Structure 1
Amino acid sequence: MKILLTGAAGFIGMHTALALCQAGHQVVGLDNLNDYYPVSLKQARLAQLHTQAGFRFVRGDIADAPALLALFRHEAFDAVIHLAAQAGVRHSLVAPQAYVQSNLVGMANVLEACRQHPVRHLLYASSSSVYGNAQAPFSEQASTDQPQSFYAATKKAGEAMAYSYAQLYGLPCSGLRLFTIYGPWGRPDMAPWLFTEALLAGRDLTVYNHGQSQRDFSYIDDIVNAMLAILPLAPSGPGAPHRLLNLGQQQAIPVLQLIQQLETLTGRTAHKRYLDLQAGDVHATCADTSALQALIGPQSLTPLSTGLGHFVDWFRQYHGHPH
């Protein structure tokens, strides 16, 4: 298939593009290379992708509707995997307009482009943050009416927009509620990176919620494998061809356990600075993946110790830290 992958220079985007190319698909990767975190990391990811014969990069912004429509008109995509978004719960507290442009305007533009130039399947990234402080484990039937951050609100709005396009125009959509993904080439604003960086530099670790938070830490390869399994399985049948699926590890891991694992892997002892729960954060996340397993079958998931080991090895290599 010929696939448009938005957010191709992002963490999940890079890994997804690699897997698609290795599976024999043609991938057009779209990204605006914004500076939310160092562009050098995004460029290094793209360097990995440029080694793939089936990959081609286009620099562009999903908020630019005319350019996006022109790309769809020229390329005739079979499917779209829409991962581009302004990420980060905490950043949405200080820069909400960036989330409006990318997560609302950009999402609407992608949906409209898929309507005008129909595709077999649109996969789009939602987030576990839509559940707010619901009772874990989260099922897709749980209420999402109380988002705790503006980021979460934009992701919930994206789901509603996708459902409307599915209902009105028959656009087959799968919304993927992603749970705290980590691994090599990960994001610098997320806990595994922040804690590893602080440990290796001998700095204090800032731990919010006084160390009481829990997260469903999900290894990148497991998430990408699930996405590729979902891609050919477009929803169909009566009603709106739209589904929501949790993609996660199915475990609520205490953040303090994550730190202990990183201490072992780095050979360093953490000096922790405890702070209150930050505005926009939730206490715990945990995925109920029954619907995903019913669709693609049971998954073999990567243990936290193994996944963190891969991440720490990559982190040392990327930053030139000796073992």
Structure 2
Amino acid sequence: MRVLITGVAGFIGSYTAMQLLEQGHEVTGVDNLNNYYDIRIKKFRLDSLLRHERFTFYPIDVENHISLKSVFAISEFEAVINLAARAGVRYSLKNPFIYASTNYMGSLNLLDLMQQYKVKRYVMASTSSIYAGCEVPYREDAPVNAPISPYAATKKAAELIAYTYANQFELEVAIVRYFTVYGPAGRPDMSVLRFIRWIDQGMPIQLFGDGSQARDFTYIGDIARGTVQSVLKPLSYEIINLGAGNQPVSMLTLIEHLEEMLGKKAVIDFLPFHSADIDTTWASIDKARELLDWTPEVSLEEGLRHTVNWYLDNKYWLDLISF
């Protein structure tokens, strides 16, 4: 297939692109390389992709309809994987406008161009944050009409406009809702890589809440594999959870695992629970098993070990980056 991936220098985007390339597909990637977090991590991911002859990269923002159209005009894509997004629940309260313009308008730009250029298959990243207030484990048919952050609200809006285009223009749409993705070369604003850095350097961990809040931590390789399987299978319009699907792991338990792997004790600075956070996330993955023949393969312990080893192997430049 010839696939367009937006946000290709991002954490999930780079892994998804690499898996497609390794399977023999052609990938065109776009990314605006913004500085929400240190661009050196994005360039680290991008460098490995640029070594592949079937990979083409354009430094384009999904908010720029004209620039995106130029890429569609010179390519004959068979699918689009939209992984470009402004992420981060807490920061979305500080700058909600950029979340709306990227997460919603960027999605609308892509769907509009897909309709113009007759591209039928669309995969879009959504989030477990959309399930605020729902019973666990979260099922895809749960009512998700009460988002508690602009981030979750803009993802909900992007899901809805994708439904409209699927209905009106017969697009094949898969909405994949990700659950707390972690792994090597992850985002430095997320808990796992931050905690590894802070424990290793003896810096206090900033922990919002008492540590009992729990997450359905899902390894990046499994997430990318599920995303690839979503684009390879025609689906009319489906929302699919991609998560570990196990009993959620508390933040204190996560910290204990990292202490053991690093051989160091954590210093924890307990902060008030943030109003935009969810206490527990837990994915029902029955639908992913049924539709995609997908189940996660990497345990939390194995995934954390891979992540810790990657951090230790790359400390020489990660020490220069602000977490």
TM superposition score category, shorter chain reference: over 0.9
Tell me the distance in 2 between the aligned counterparts of 1:283 and 1:221: 25
Maintained 8 Å contact 1:133/1:284: no
Q: Quick one: distance in 1 between partners of 2:163 and 2:126?
A: 13
Matching of residue 87 in structure 1 with residue 87 in structure 2: yes
Compute the RMSD of aligned alpha carbons: 1.3
Q: Which residue of 1 aligns with 2:321?
A: none
SS in structure 2 of the partner of residue 243 of structure 1: strand
Is it true that 1:287 corresponds to 2:283 in the alignment? yes
1:245 equivalenced with 2:240 (yes/no):
yes
TM-score with structure 1 setting the length:
0.96
For 2:282, the aligned partner's letter is C
Give the aligned partner of residue 263 of structure 2. 267
How far, CA to CA, are the matches of 2:296 and 2:182 in structure 1?
17
Alignment of 1:102-117 (within 5 A): 102-117=102-117
Query: Structure 2 CA distance, aligned partners of 1:288 and 1:122?
Result: 23
Match of 1:158 in 2: 158
| Structure 1 partner of 2:199 | 199
1:212-227 paired onto structure 2 within 5 Å: 212-227=212-227
Give the secondary structure class of the aligned counterpart of 1:37.
coil
Q: Report SS of the residue matched to 1:210.
A: coil
Deviations 1:3-48 (A, max 9, x none): 1000000001111111110000010010000000011111111111
Q: Whole-Å Cα distance in 1 between the matches of residues 49 and 142 of structure 2?
A: 37
One-letter identity of the residue aligned with 1:308: L
How far apart are residue 298 of structure 1 and its match? 4.9
Report SS of the residue matched to 2:74: helix
* Partners of 2:4 and 2:81 within 8 A in 1: yes
Cα offset for 1:289? 0.7
Amino acid corresponding to residue 6 of structure 2 in structure 1: T
Q: Compared with structure 1, are the counterparts of its residues 168 and 188 closer, same or farther at alpha carbon in structure 2 (3 Å cutoff)?
A: same
Sequence identity percentage = 37
SS at match of 2:274: coil
Indicate the SS of the match to 2:276: coil
AA matched with 2:244: Q
Partner of 1:126: 126
- State the SS of the aligned residue for 1:314: helix
- Runs of 4+ residues over 3 Å off in structure 1: none
User: What code does the residue aligned with 2:162 have?
Assistant: A
Q: Which amino acid aligns with 1:13?
A: G
Aligned residues of 1:165 and 1:171 also touching (Cα < 8 A):
yes
8 Å contact kept, 1:133–1:283: no
Q: Which residue of 2 aligns with 1:41?
A: 41
Q: Measure how far apart 1:172 and its partner are.
A: 1.1
Q: Matches of 1:96 and 1:300 in 2, distance apart?
A: 33
SS at match of 1:186: coil
SS in structure 2 at match of 1:320: helix
Give structure 1 stretches of 5+ with no counterpart: 236-240
Structure 2: stretches of 5+ with no match in the other structure: 318-323
User: Alpha-carbon deviation of 1:275?
Assistant: 1.6
Partner of 2:186: 186
| Cα contact 1:21–1:53 (8 A) shared by 2 | no
The size of the alignment, in residue pairs, is 317
Return the offset for 1:115.
0.8
Aligned to 2:231: 231
Distance (whole Å) between structure 2 residues aligned to residue 77 and residue 296 of structure 1: 22
Q: What is the identity, as a one-letter code, of the residue corresponding to 1:229?
A: Q
1:161-220 per-position Cα deviation (integer Å, ceiling 9, x unaligned) = 000011111111100001010001100010001101100110111111211210000001
Contact 1:86–1:102, Cα closer than 8 Å, also in 2: yes
Q: Matched residue of 1:4: which SS?
A: strand
Partner SS for 1:122: strand
